[in-house]
Structure 1
Amino acid sequence: MFWVSRLCDAAAVNIRQISMGLLIYRLTNSPIILGGLILARAVSLMALALYAGAIADRSQKKYIIQIAGAVDVFIVLVVFFSLISGYLSVENAGSWWVLIAVSFIDGLATTFKGPAADAIVVEVVGERLITNAVALTQVGQNTLRLAAPVIAGAIIDHYGFEVAFEVMAGIYIVAVVFLIFIPPSSKPVPSDRPIMNDIKEAWGYITKEKHIFLVLIVVLAITLLSMPYRQLMPIFTEDILKVDATMLGILQGVSAGGAIIGGIVIASLPSNRKRGTLMLLSGLALGISLVFFSFSTSLSLSLAMMVIVGLGQAGRMTLSVALLQYYTRSDYRARVMSFYGIEIGLSSLGTFFAAALAEGIGVEWAVGSLAFILIAGIVLSFFLMPQLRKLD
């Protein structure tokens, strides 16, 4: 039930990402406002992420995920009614503020849902199977990433954004309902201590455990430098490749296809073998493929590069989460994953920076330059961080 709920949530998230980004870019034709959409979400992610992890360690994680899911339903319906009422339109200049506002609220919901959903997995499957479980979950989510963006693009092209958000709301509702049937997986650990003390304690634990600290640092760098392409994809499809929303969905989908292959490969590997090296190689594959994608004007080459990008993303996401959960003590997991959540917020700052660069020098150089830096950073990590490379 939990697996199905997470897959429904992933499907809705993928539809929302393509719909929100493309909608605000068509309303404004501005890379900087598209970046602002991501920045609004990042601000809320970073503001409360550490508190969210501490609260998840003290509370029943299932209920946190349910409440956050209900908030997701609410914000999608706000956009839906804004569209069908005609308020959110090109003719109504400045109406895009609605998308910025709901993006901020979405960030708040994700802030609490992320650490709870990540931390609950190991309670369900146990430590020994965590890598396989995370990998298989990634395969399921990436299967939806293969289909959901294409379906979203086709719906937008043929029926409009209103129907896309209506479908999204229905999927979010299903995700919340399925959680009802999941029994509580663990007893919350109550505490009378101030939450800030828990956060400081978690930070002290992270800095003391060098394996965890190094994984977080490297994941931050990879995410910061590689993720902007995804949020800025509407600019590539509208201005560089000059294709419709369906093809935007296909580009996202083939990336998911590569991620599926990567997830299956990782899930089939012997447990706890050279995961640090594989994570670094995933980052290297990401950087190289993004350089080629950034400067491509050929749809065929862009599609091919998206497959490799997907392979790299699968390795980065699966192995980083598996390493963090494997090396983290159970009473710290949600708080450590909340630091991981802050890194996602920081990566959105990277996207905003890339969007600002795209306004001035073009999206190709903005994304391509970050990819070049990523390649250089990974190569240096191989030589300067042998302890990370040797992590199993």
Structure 2
Amino acid sequence: MGGTGLSPPDGDNIPAPVRFRPELGPAAGRPLRWPGALRYRDFRLLWLGQLFALSGFWMQSVAQGWLVLELSDSPLLLGIVSAAANIPIFLLSLLGGAVADRVDRARLVVATRSVLAALTALLALLVSLKLITVPVFVGLVGLMGVVWAFDIPARQSLIPALVPRRALQDAVALNSAVANGTRIVAPALAGVLVGLIGTAGVYWLTSACYLGLVWMAAKIRPRRPDAPDPPVRTTVWQDAIGGLGYIWSNRPVFSLLLLSLIPSVFGMAFVPLVPVFARDILRVGAGGLGLLYGASGAGALLGSVAVAFVGTRLPRGPVLLASGLAFSLAVVGFALVSHFGLALLALTAAGFTQALFQTLNTGLALGATPAAYQGRVMSIYMLTWGLQSLGSLLAGALADRVGAPLAVALIGVLSFGFVTAVWAASRPLRRLK
């Protein structure tokens, strides 16, 4: 992501942790405190808002995939819809980061999430009235992608302004935990709800979830003003070019950036095709689709936790290679199975290894980058994540010609070969400890 634009505030500038007295329970009358970074009111508001918003996002992902199959049986359309959301993120992420550095980020989150809630409600209305068409659907998803390009940098760069420096790592971990935790529960819930209230009902619920973040973000009042940095003489585009030059000159970071393309262009390209597997191959319906997404999320949550173990006990370089190769094999395994239980196991493994690989990759890149370039390096990483649309289009086109299982298997093989080639060609990667 883009840089924060703010240095983490000192503890003296943060509101005191809120204490409360429960009315019931053995500890009644004794002051209790929220754990970790949740002690800080403004971060707690953002975290709770994220709980609403990310639950809505994952429910929307299930409804979106199922609606595409209701509108058209073409796997290519699944890739096109994914591309419509990701291409604006790829093109506008640097601009979104620049805007986040120049305005009140909490208010920007209120604005972006209000627009997303409105667009989702419009989509729900069109589906309810049976007026939705493929071009309108793709257009609305594309508009959401434009808003996400501004929303994501704003939310990520708001975190350091809400906690003291000593609590920043805990805040980032809690933010990651809520992302992966909702990825487990929300898709499974959405799969059940699609069968009960239809895709339109899930979209209405998603809109309400987005308003939950609007409500929470509107209450954020950090004592340290979330103000822009002093004006600089360079533009965001000049800074971006400078960041590209730095990455090109730093071979370890450049190699890590190449490796980061794996979950974007290759590995995660199979995700838009999961609804095809749920309906046509595994024959488990919308409820099973939610469980498939939930299995991937459970693996990702475990992978995020595993990073802490790896960082202190194992050499990170070899683990990075092993996780990248294992992720590729898990994708191939998912493509080849026809039993629902084995598919759940394969997606759990894919989620675990993908989260381990991506988190290690990002951490190693930050560790090899001086502070002056970290923001730009992360914004360029965000550009690579936007390249997922290319992989989705490739997967959709292949699935149209050779079927979803063979297409996903080929993607896994390409991913395995890419990891091996980059690792073999990069001496700095092989020296990572």
Do they superpose with TM above 0.5? yes
1:282 Cα offset (Å): 2.3
Offset from partner CA, 1:53-92 (integer Å, 9 cap, x none): 333344443333332222211211111110222212xxxx
Distance (Å, rounded) in 2 between the aligned partners of 1:59 and 1:329: 25
Choose the corresponding residue for 1:156, options 173, 185, 194: 194
Residue of structure 2 in register with 1:174 after alignment: 212
Counterparts in 2 of 1:188-227, with a 5 A limit? Answer: 188-189=228-229, 190-191=231-232, 193-227=234-268
1:359 Cα offset (Å): 0.3
Choose the corresponding residue for 1:108, options 146, 166, 171: 146
Distance (Å, rounded) in 1 between the aligned partners of 2:288 and 2:152: 29
Choose the corresponding residue for 2:292, options 251, 275, 290: 251
Q: In the alignment, residue 52 of structure 2 is paired with which amino acid?
A: C
| Residues 35, 352 of structure 1: 8 Å contact kept | yes
Distance (Å, rounded) in 2 between the aligned partners of 1:331 and 1:65: 26
Q: Identity, % of aligned pairs?
A: 27
Distance (Å, rounded) in 2 between the aligned partners of 1:128 and 1:315: 24
Counterparts in 2 of 1:139-150, with a 5 A limit? Answer: 139-150=177-188
Residue of structure 1 in register with 2:330 after alignment: 289
Counterparts in 2 of 1:315-330, with a 5 A limit? Answer: 315-330=356-371
Change (3 A) 1:345 1:100: same
Q: Say yes or no: does 1:52 pair with 2:96.
A: yes
1:117 Cα offset (Å): 3.0
Residue of structure 2 in register with 1:335 after alignment: 376
Residue of structure 2 in register with 1:77 after alignment: 121
Offset from partner CA, 1:191-226 (integer Å, 9 cap, x none): 354332222222223323434322221101332111
Q: In the alignment, residue 415 of structure 2 is paired with which amino acid?
A: L
Q: Say yes or no: does 1:358 pair with 2:411.
A: no
Offset from partner CA, 1:326-364 (integer Å, 9 cap, x none): 444555444333322221221111111110110001111
1:130 Cα offset (Å): 6.2
> Over the residues paired in the alignment, what is the CA RMSD in angstroms?
2.5
Choose the corresponding residue for 2:387, options 346, 359, 363: 346
Residue of structure 1 in register with 2:66 after alignment: 22
Distance (Å, rounded) in 2 between the aligned partners of 1:185 and 1:266: 34
Distance (Å, rounded) in 1 between the aligned partners of 2:276 and 2:319: 31
Offset from partner CA, 1:293-331 (integer Å, 9 cap, x none): 101111111111111011012213333343444444555
Change (3 A) 1:220 1:125: farther
Distance (Å, rounded) in 2 between the aligned partners of 1:218 and 1:177: 38
Residue 366 of structure 1 aligns to a residue in which SS?
Answer: helix
Residue of structure 1 in register with 2:25 after alignment: none
Moved more, 2-11 or 188-197: 188-197
Distance (Å, rounded) in 2 between the aligned partners of 1:105 and 1:8: 21
Change (3 A) 1:98 1:325: farther
Distance (Å, rounded) in 1 between the aligned partners of 2:432 and 2:174: 21
- Structure 2, unmatched stretches of 5+, are 1-44
Q: In the alignment, residue 228 of structure 2 is paired with which amino acid?
A: P
1:154 Cα offset (Å): 0.6
Distance (Å, rounded) in 2 between the aligned partners of 1:121 and 1:215: 25
1:44 Cα offset (Å): 1.3
Distance (Å, rounded) in 1 between the aligned partners of 2:60 and 2:175: 20
1:186 Cα offset (Å): 5.1
Residue of structure 2 in register with 1:383 after alignment: 424
1:139 Cα offset (Å): 2.6
Give the TM-score normalised by structure 1. 0.89
Choose the corresponding residue for 1:42, options 72, 75, 86: 86
Distance (Å, rounded) in 2 between the aligned partners of 1:287 and 1:61: 37
- Structure 1, unmatched stretches of 5+, are 89-94
- Larger of the two Rg values belongs to structure: 2
Q: In the alignment, residue 283 of structure 1 is paired with which amino acid?
A: G
Distance (Å, rounded) in 2 between the aligned partners of 1:343 and 1:361: 27
| Residues 253, 369 of structure 2: 8 Å contact kept | yes
Q: In the alignment, residue 178 of structure 1 is paired with which amino acid?
A: M
| Residues 69, 176 of structure 1: 8 Å contact kept | yes
Offset from partner CA, 1:207-261 (integer Å, 9 cap, x none): 2343432222110133211102211111111111111101100011111111222
Change (3 A) 1:231 1:112: same
| Residues 42, 345 of structure 1: 8 Å contact kept | yes
Residue of structure 2 in register with 1:266 after alignment: 307
Q: In the alignment, residue 138 of structure 1 is paired with which amino acid?
A: S
Distance (Å, rounded) in 2 between the aligned partners of 1:108 and 1:19: 20
Change (3 A) 1:390 1:176: farther
| Residues 82, 392 of structure 2: 8 Å contact kept | yes
